Amino acid sequence: MKIAGLPEVYLGTKKNTMAIKTIIEPFRIKMVEPIRMSSEEERIEYLEMAHYNPFLLKSENVIIDLLTDSGTSAMSAKQWGGVMEGDESYAGSRSWMKMEDEIREQTGCEFILPTHQGRAGERILYGHLGGPGKVFISNTHFDTTRANIEFSGSTAFDIPIDEGKKPSVEHPFKGNMDVDKLEELITQHKPLNIGAVILTVTNNSGGGQPVSMANARDVAEICKKYEILFVLDSCRIAENAYFIKHREEGFENHTYKDIAKEMYRLTDGAVMSLKKDGLVNMGGFIALKDPELAEACKNLLIITEGFATYGGLSGRDMEAIAQGLKEVFRPDYLKYRIKSTGFLGDNLHKMGVPIMRPTGGHAVYIDAKAFYSHLPVNQYPGQALVLDLYRKGGIRAVEIGSVMFGKYDENGNLIPSPMELVRLAMPRRVYTQSHVEYILEVFQELINEKDKTKGVKIVKEPKFLRHFTSHFEIIE
């Protein structure tokens, strides 16, 4: 099926001419993982078995898995080669030194601590800095960041700029932090009580939107003025660097890696989940400049993660990380990465599907409340869309709306989330342009039958993080 309005070229803005060529995947495929094709009838059955919750589906019954971009990257031949060379020594592993060198070079931080994933670093750093009475401020805390901060007894404030909260508004750096609010919050809560200011790049919970260097500089200046620790959540820093180079004046001639280094230079340290821009399936780190803070974190690391030269990782993981962190900054890779997410988002936009604009770096966020405008929020339009995507196309996505964030008032009525979004997260180097065209075709079918979609109700739910395990039913 041909989609109306689908450009002939990969994200080409003009007609297909000899001058503009398709942006191709900058890799050849050497090893393949078969996808089992299923029929709509089968998927209706699988959905029933999974109680209409995509987290309860078997992955082998999914055709295109867009649940997350985290830990789902394809590794390169060089990374797999490194896996065979991993040094599994308990202490002083050669693979650790390669990983440490690369991270030290990029972050400019003296003290690097390996962790098995991002949230392990968050637990160590924010657990140490936090505690009752402390306050953390971010453009938007990712769920696990907030959970670790709140678990320590501290409070977390999200202060994205106003544009960042409106899905349809176009802005080049919608991930920016509201610096006026930052100063207000610091004065209100007193600098001594601020555990840290955390800038998340790109802003995952805010639509994968980038943060500008100018904004990072402003945040750094305010943190310096009040002597507050400034931490970067750098999960997607390479993707953020791409947007800076192409959208912010003065960076046209910088390399992506230099832009990332410049951003790290403004901070006191970073926490990174390497499952994103590390191009690996597992890993993370904490990078710090202050020796005393690093020492305290190292002690916690040894108690809970592992010795300071592996921190919960195998030597082979660390070998793949050292290589992945180099590959992620390659211009051909980053161009393909950002343009392919844009290809999905921009074509959905052209087809009239309401999405968070402009398209972010790692994912497309659909505004399900606008797409299924006939469904009230207490019938979970986001979950309804997730179910339709799976039933029609075997595509797995995740609801980021009232299923995830909804609460109840004292009468048991739903207090909905401000937005009803569905995230289509793109794994790195995994799917090709034809997979994306297939996703667009499935959306065309959903558009044609939009008004027939029924709402959803929750029939069983746990007390916390209900989206993972709740059971749903279709409202007939």
Q: Which of 72, 79, 152, 200 binds ligand F0G (CB under 6 A)?
A: 200
174 contacts ligand F0G (rule: CB under 6 A): no
Residue 433: CB minimum distance to ligand F0G, A: 23
Least Cβ distance, residue 448 to ligand F0G (angstroms):
30
Pick from 76, 117, 212, 341: which binds ligand F0G (CB under 6 A)? 117
If one asks whether residue 144 binds ligand F0G (CB under 6 A), the answer comes out as yes
Instruction: Say how many CA atoms lie within 13 Å of 408 toward its Cβ.
Output: 9
Taking CB under 6 A as the binding criterion, the range among 19-27, 141-149, 322-330, 466-474 that sits at the site for ligand F0G is 141-149
DSSP β-ladder status, 363-367 and 421-425: antiparallel
Point out which span in 14-22, 138-146, 213-221, 468-476 binds ligand F0G (CB under 6 A). 138-146
Give helix then strand counts, H and E, for the chain.
Answer: 17, 16
Tell me how far apart the alpha carbons of residues 330 and 338 are, in angstroms, rounded to a whole number.
12
Closest CA to 216 of 205, 204, 206, 224: 224
Q: SS3 for 103?
A: helix
DSSP class of residue 192?
G
Minimum Å distance from CB 189 to ligand F0G?
23
Q: Are 456 and 380 in contact (CB under 8 A)?
A: yes
Containing 284, the helix (H) or strand (E) segment is strand 284-288
In order of 6, 271, 401, the CA distances from 442 in angstroms are 14, 37, 22
Among residues 7, 118, 130, 393, the one that binds ligand F0G under rule CB under 6 A: 118
Q: Is residue 167 a contact partner of residue 419, using CB atoms and an 8 Å limit?
A: yes
Site string for ligand F0G, 70-109 (x = CB under 6 A): x---------------------------------------
Measured from the CB atom, the residue of 273 and 379 that comes closer to ligand F0G is 273
CB nearer ligand F0G, residue 222 or residue 274? 274
Which residues contact residue 332 at a Cβ distance below 8 angstroms, ignoring those fewer than 6 apart?
Answer: 26
Q: Residue written as tokens 């399900």?
A: 368
Rule CB under 6 A: which of 231-260 touch ligand F0G?
A: 233, 235
Among 43, 98, 119, 146, binds ligand F0G (CB under 6 A): 119
At residue 282, φ and ψ (nearest 5 deg) are -155, 140
The β-bridge relationship of strands 194-200 and 135-138 is parallel
Least distance (Å) between residue 201 CB and ligand F0G: 8
Contact between 204 and ligand F0G per CB under 6 A: yes
Tell me the closest approach of the beta carbon of residue 345 to ligand F0G, in angstroms. 17
Amino acid 314 reads: S
Torsion of CA 286, 159, 155, 147, to 10 degrees: -50
**Other beta carbons within 10 Å of 121:** 29
Q: Does the footprint of ligand F0G cover residue 312 (CB under 6 A)?
A: no
Q: Which is nearer to ligand F0G, 9 or 430 (CB)?
A: 430
136 touching ligand F0G, by CB under 6 A: no
Strands (E), 3-139: 64-65, 111-115, 135-138
- Binding of ligand F0G by 139 (CB under 6 A): no
What minimum distance in Å lies between the beta carbon of 409 and ligand F0G? Answer: 29
Q: Does 396 engage in binding with ligand F0G (CB under 6 A)?
A: no
CB of 59 to ligand F0G, least distance (A): 15
Question: Helices 118-129 and 291-304: crossing angle, nearest 10°?
Answer: 120
Residues 272-291 contacting ligand F0G, CB under 6 A: 273, 275, 284
Type of residue numbered 475: I
Instruction: Give the binding site for ligand F0G (CB under 6 A).
Output: 68, 70, 117-119, 142, 144-145, 200, 204, 233, 235, 273, 275, 284
